[in-house]
Structure 1
Amino acid sequence: MKTVLMIPARYASTRYPGKPLAELRQKDGSTKTLIHMTWEAALQVGGVDAVYVVTDDERIKSAAEAFGASVLMTSPEAANGTERCAEALTQVDADLVVNLQGDAPLTPPWFVEALIERMKSDATAQVATPVLRCDRQTYDMFVEDRKAGRVGGTTAVFDTNLHGLYFSKEVIPYIAPGKVPEPVPVFHHVGVYAYRPDALAAYVGWPEGELEKREGLEQLRFLEHGATVACVEVDAKGRLFWELNNPEDVPRIEAVLGA
């Protein structure tokens, strides 16, 4: 099974323009761009035949090529990373496409490897995505963002077969203040996807759904059109996972990096 990993990256982010080129301090005091760090994280994933940065922006293309990445250019009309991956797939051959979004440099390789393994072992799975049970620190970060009016990470709820029921930028399920149980019953949706080519082809043929539009979450288009999204529970193994969604997330990630 030929597996390619794509890193969709766009410059024109509403919440954080130029986010892929944001500089983050490293442990040694140097800096690296977000897209560079994500590319390095992608190279750690086993079972991948090729890694590409996928963008419509010449600034991102130049930066990526400068640190040695292969780049696939797509049109600016792509509404989200899934559409960008579908367009990029017309330029390469693959049996499985992994979408590692360009704002998640802290994604451990075993998160992605778990998706690849699920897709290899389950021929019925068309789309798979990781979910990570929140520890208390991560849950508190979600709540802090929402209290401050910031849209932070995404949470997921799923059925007993680990099929996604809903994804939201709100913290779901609701937990009354002061009554957070252990383990925390909230799952952080990790913004990584594995798709079969047929699933990507179907996706771009569907109109944007109302829930997708309101939440700004591309994976909801699959649910709104009756497709199954397999959720794969992963283990952070003691590492803090967080994406760079807002400028306020930079110090959070730098703290994890030890900067």
Structure 2
Amino acid sequence: MSVLIAIPARYASTRYPGKPLVPLTGADGVAKTLIQRSWEAAMAVRGVDRVVVATDDDRIADAARGFGADVVMTAESCANGTERCADVLRHLSDTPDIVVNLQGDAPLTPAWFVEDLVAALRADPDADVATPVLRCDGRALSGFRQDRLEGRVGGTTAVFDANHRAMYFSKEVVPYTGRDYDEAAPTPVFHHVGVYAYRPAALMKYTSLAVGPLEQLEGLEQLRFMENGLSVKCVEVQAKGRSFWELNNPEDVAKIEAMLRDEM
């Protein structure tokens, strides 16, 4: 089954305009843009046939071509990364069997997260979409809670059933737990990692569906699948000692740079 990774990137982010071109300094002292670090993360994934940066902005396109990326110019009307991935399909002569959306704000995504995701979708013909979840330890859960206390929109949490079918995603911390946990202790809260693997039919159907009330309230694109009865499979992945965080706010730059230093 052929696999395409698309990295959606837009300049006009409400929370952080110009985010894809923000420089991030690694342990070697070299500064690379967020979009380059995300592209390098995608290129490290095994078993992928093609990686493209999907954008509607010439500044991002020029930067991506400058470090050797394949670029697909998508429509300005794309409202989110899923719609942008669907638009990529319209520009291809051959349709891949699986399309992976590796969002351009997640440069710390380990290659095995994507590999596990693709393997799970291949193994489950009833799943329309697959997405990774990572069990929070006490330290991660504390970070989620602190973000909400200080009014920041941080990571997203996921709730799923016994068959790992998604029940809900939220920017609030769900499920509720009033307990405090030791830093390294496992918790019942799962961090949703913003990566998706779609079957092309599901991806194209998405663009024909109206935005529902839950997607609108939460600002989470994956809820459109669930509000319309499509099956989203949550794939539990393992951190293997690696830290993971998305760049959502300017305050996250220092956090991600520290994590990049820790990888060395």
Bin of the TM-score, shorter chain as denominator length: over 0.9
The one-letter amino acid paired with 1:146 is R
State the superposition RMSD in angstroms.
1.3
Moved more, 174-183 or 190-199: 174-183
| 1:44-193 alignment runs, 5 A limit | 44-92=44-92, 93=94, 94-176=96-178, 178=180, 182-193=185-196
Match in the other structure for 1:221: 224
Identity %: 62
Q: Can you list the C-alpha shifts for 1:83-105, whole angstroms capped at 9, x where unaligned?
A: 00001111122111000000000
Amino acid at match of 1:89: L
Letter in 2 for 1:90: R
C-alpha distance in 1 between matches for 2:124 and 2:47: 16
Residue deviations 1:140-184, cap 9 Å, x none? 111111111000110000000000000000011112154679421
2:101–2:197 contact (8 Å) kept in structure 1: yes
Which is further off, 158-167 or 177-186? Answer: 177-186
What is the DSSP-based 3-state SS (H/G/I as helix, E as strand, rest coil) of the residue aligned with 1:40?
Answer: helix
Instruction: Describe the shift of the 1:30–1:180 C-alpha distance in structure 2 as closer, same or farther (beyond 3 A).
Output: closer
Q: Equivalent residue for 1:6?
A: 6
Determine helix, strand or coil for the equivalent of 2:12.
Answer: coil
For 1:137 and 1:34, locate their aligned partners in 2 and report how far apart those are by CA, in whole Å: 25
SS, match of residue 151 in structure 2: coil
Tell me if structure 1 keeps the 8 A contact 2:53–2:71. yes
Report the counterpart of residue 237 of structure 1 in structure 2.
240
Q: Structure 1 CA distance, aligned partners of 2:123 and 2:231?
A: 16
TM-score, normalised by the number of residues in structure 1 = 0.97
Q: State the Cα deviation string for residues 210-241 of structure 1 (Å, max 9, x = none).
A: 11011110000001111110000000011111
Which secondary structure state, in structure 1, belongs to the residue aligned with residue 38 of structure 2?
helix
Is this contact kept in 1: 2:126–2:231, CA < 8 A?
no
Match of 2:199 in 1: 196
Unaligned runs of 5+ in 2: none
Q: Which moved more, 1:237-246 or 1:116-125?
A: 116-125
CA distance in 2, matches of 1:99, 1:109: 13
In the TM superposition, structure 1's runs of 4+ consecutive aligned residues that sit over 6 Å from their partners are: none
Q: Find the residue that maps to 2:257 and give its secondary structure.
A: helix
How many residue pairs end up in the alignment?
259
